[in-house]
């Protein structure tokens, strides 16, 4: 019997790959990610495949900096507010967020106030 697990890849894909490598070393046979909106799953899977096989340069090339910048709300307050406004201008009506840190409720409240 093999063991598989859905990986959380929200946020920094490098951190997701480090976690996947540790799980693989512990015996995980099949890491997978849910397909989400048709474009991010292949990107992260390409990164994970290259990273887990030891090809770090290929892994880094599989996830362009622009992808990380466009898909996250990380950084100083001014930058995050600019990204929220860009999402609004693009017609986004709901942001799916995963707060990272010791106080997720505070982060949600802060971002909600910016909306």
Q: Are residues 49 and 99 in the same domain?
A: no
Q: Are residues 18 and 60 in the same domain?
A: yes
Q: Are residues 81 and 32 in the same domain?
A: no
Tell how far CA 56 is from the center of its chain.
18
pLDDT, one tens digit per residue, over 70-102 is 777 888 999 989 988 998 899 887 777 777 778
Q: Are residues 31 and 51 in the same domain?
A: yes
The better pLDDT of the pair 113, 8 is held by 113
pLDDT, one tens digit per residue, over 3-54 is 667 777 667 777 777 877 877 777 776 677 766 555 555 566 677 776 676 7
Return the sign of the alpha-carbon dihedral for residues 42, 46, 51, 56: negative
How many domains does the structure of the chain reveal? Answer: 2
Q: Are residues 14 and 47 in the same domain?
A: yes
Q: Which domain holds residue 107?
A: 73-114
Q: Are residues 92 and 109 in the same domain?
A: yes
Write down the number of H helices and E strands in the chain.
Answer: 6, 2
Q: Are residues 39 and 90 in the same domain?
A: no
Q: Are residues 60 and 97 in the same domain?
A: no
């Amino acid at each position: 019997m093999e063991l598989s697990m859905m990986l959380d890849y929200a946020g920094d894909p490098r951190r997701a790959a480090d976690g996947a490598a540790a799980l693989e070393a512990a015996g995980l046979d099949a890491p997978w990610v849910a397909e989400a909106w048709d474009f991010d799953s292949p990107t992260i899977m390409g990164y994970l495949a290259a990273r887990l096989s030891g090809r770090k340069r290929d892994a880094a090339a599989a996830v362009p900096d622009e992808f990380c910048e466009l898909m996250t709300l990380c950084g100083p307050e001014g930058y995050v507010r600019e990204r929220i406004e860009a999402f609004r201008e693009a017609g986004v009506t709901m942001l799916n967020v995963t707060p990272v840190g010791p106080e997720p409720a505070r982060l949600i409240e802060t971002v909600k106030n910016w909306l």
